[in-house]
Amino acid sequence: MLIDHIPCRHAEKRFNQRGLRNTDVELVLDSASRVAPDAYLLTNRDVEREISRRKQEIQRLEKLRGTKLVVDGDTLITAYHSRPSDQKRTFRKGRDYK
């Protein structure tokens, strides 16, 4: 994570020159292989692993589409797959948020 690594002015200048955003650097640090105590390398294998993981996450999201969780504070009360009519009613009437 970039939070664990504070970029020096030289690094910030290189990021700008090479079109790298802080989020890009964080992604590399989170996904890459550590090849030395002071270096990370984002290999093809790392990229394929992360793409596969994200595809699985997308599939789970598609499966969970329409799932409704009802909570009270930090307590989970119930969970269910809501019907489209329930979803419309929820968005129309909503709940009283404080």
**Tokens 């979803």 label which residue?**
87
- Name the token pair of 46: 């790392």
Angle at 59 between CA 3 and CA 44, to 5 degrees: 55
52, HSE (Cβ side, Cα atoms, 13 Å): 6
pTM reported for the whole predicted model: 0.69
Structure tokens at 17: 């020159």
Per-residue pLDDT tens digits of the chain, which is 98 residues long: 556 788 999 999 999 999 999 999 999 999 999 999 999 999 999 999 999 999 999 999 999 999 988 889 989 999 999 888 887 777 777 655 44
